């Protein structure tokens, strides 16, 4: 009977410690988990977040080099 009470006490303490530990963990950054608009580079076709792209008119590019190269082709 004493062993059973000891085992129950250990389980309760472990549960309590794990619960306390999880409360102390930092919450995930909710801003980074939100959906973000993706665009396609007109030159190479790679998809990237809109905020990381380079926009020229209504077209999006993955780099300044691709913007220049595509502008050179269309002339």
Summarised one tens digit per residue, pLDDT across range 6-49 is 999 999 999 999 999 888 877 765 555 678 899 999 999 999 99
Residue 52 lies in a domain: yes
Number of domains in the chain: 1
Question: Long-range contacts of range 15-21, CB-CB < 8 Å, 24 or more positions apart?
Answer: none
pLDDT for position 29? 59
pLDDT for position 8? 96
Residue 20 lies in a domain: no
Domain coverage including residue 66: 37-75
**Distance between CA atoms of 2 and 48, rounded to whole angstroms?**
63
Q: pTM for this structure? A: 0.52
Strands 54-56 and 59-61 turn out to be antiparallel
């Amino acid at each position: 009977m004493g062993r059973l009470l000891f085992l129950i006490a250990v389980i309760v303490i472990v549960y309590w410690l794990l619960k306390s530990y999880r409360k102390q963990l930092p919450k995930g950054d909710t801003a980074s988990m939100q959906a973000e608009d993706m665009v396609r580079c007109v030159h190479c076709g790679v998809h990237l977040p809109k905020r990381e792209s380079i926009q020229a008119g209504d077209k999006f590019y993955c780099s300044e080099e691709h913007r220049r190269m595509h502008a050179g082709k269309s002339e």
